[in-house]
Structures are given as structure tokens and as C-alpha cells.
Amino acid sequence: MPPIFEVLTQRCGYYVARTEQIAASSSRPENIINIGQFTTVHRLNGRTIRKIPSDKSGIYSNRAAEIEAQVYRHLRGQKRIARCLQCSDNYIDLRYETNGDLEAYLRNHCPSDRFRHRIARQAIEAVIFIHKKNAIHSDLSARQFLVDQRGNARLSDFGGSSLQGWDAIIMENATHFLRRDEDAPKTV
């Protein structure tokens, strides 16, 4: 049986002392549901996923986890944002959404035009909300929106984001392209 630790965690904006049992199975490869640029996502159970830095010795992975936790604390409670259950600078626990991300949902289902219009409106609402709260996502795509059990969109994955004017840490690679100056040469 895994050890039980008394931990002080930051629960999206306030500290709470609680006893946490770390499940040994939470870090097994079969529980990994995604490996991103900065974090690895583990499914802890039927209700919770945990995002942890992919490279704990890497400055960018750790910084992305810190930024994402700060953004979730800053945006907490909004219906178009993924449900953060608890967060610290070392991990983020989010509500597991059984419908997955929007990109996979659209690929695997034939949603009605009504659904598509509603999701588009909700995505716009999410972006407007985060911009009003001085957050810039920096990596918007369909895979960053989770589809909850009622079929509503919730924006997630804020690891590369900018909050209140801080620099974003998103890195350009094959899947992420940074904005270009109009006068700069085009790249291929």
C-alpha cells in the first residue's frame, strides 16, 4: 500500500491541509493519456486527471506547470474553463471529461450544426473571458477544448500561456508556430 502523506496543497487559490494517498498506479504507463511538450497527463481515476511536468529537471516543464497552476487559480470557477480540482506548482488535477478533447470528439462523432454552432460560441466566450482576465492562451486549437458530459466546451492546457503581461513560454516546433512580423521573411 502506498504511503500516506500529510500535505499542504494549494487548491486553486487557497491553501488546505489534507491527507493525500498517492496511488502507485497513477504513474504507470497504462494510465498515461497524453504526453505534451511540457507535461504528461495521467488518468488517476474515473473523475480526475493529473498533469505533471514531463521533465522534472527541465526548467521549461517546471515553469509551464507553475504557469498553468497560476492561470487556473486566476480563472477559477468560470464555466468555459476546465475544472481545476486542485493545483500546485508541481501538478494540476483536472476533472476528467469523458468526451475527451474537441478535436477527437469531432473526428469520432457526427455532431449536428446546432452542436457545432454552440461549441464555436462557447470557444469564443472562453477566449473573451481569458482576455478580460489578462490571460493569453498562446496555443489555441480544438484539442485544447475539453467536451464535458453535457457537450459543452471547456478551455484547458494553459502551460504555455501569458498571464498579466508575462512572457509566454510556448516554443515553436512542428506543431506550434509563433506569430511572424509581416515584414519578416516567410518560413517553410
The residues with which 16 forms a beta bridge, in sequence order, are 9
Spell out the domain ranges in the chain.
32-163
pLDDT for the residue 182 = 59
HSE-CB of 91 using CA atoms within 13 angstroms: 18
Burial of residue 93, with CB atoms counted within 10 A of its CB: 0-12 exposed, 13-18 middle, 19 or more buried: buried
C-alpha cell of 1?
500500500
Report the pLDDT value the prediction gives residue 140, as an integer from 0 to 100: 85
**Is residue 159 classed as helix, strand or coil in its secondary structure?**
coil
Sign of the C-alpha dihedral computed for residues 133, 137, 141 and 147 taken in this order: negative
What are the mean pLDDT values of the chain's consecutive 10-residue runs (188 residues total)?
Answer: 31 34 50 89 95 84 86 92 91 95 95 97 96 88 95 92 72 56 49
DSSP string, 93-152: EEE--TT-BHHHHHHH----HHHHHHHHHHHHHHHHHHHHTTEE-S--SGGGEEE-TTS-
The C-alpha atoms of residue 177 and residue 173 are separated, in whole angstroms, by: 7
Neighbours of 37 (CB within 10 A): 18
Say yes or no: domain 32-163 is CATH 1.10.510.10: yes
Helix (H, G, I), strand (E, B) or coil at 25: helix
Give the global pTM: 0.74
Dihedral sign (CA 70, 76, 80, 84)? positive
List 21's β-bridge partners, or say none: 4
The pLDDT of residue 159 is: 82
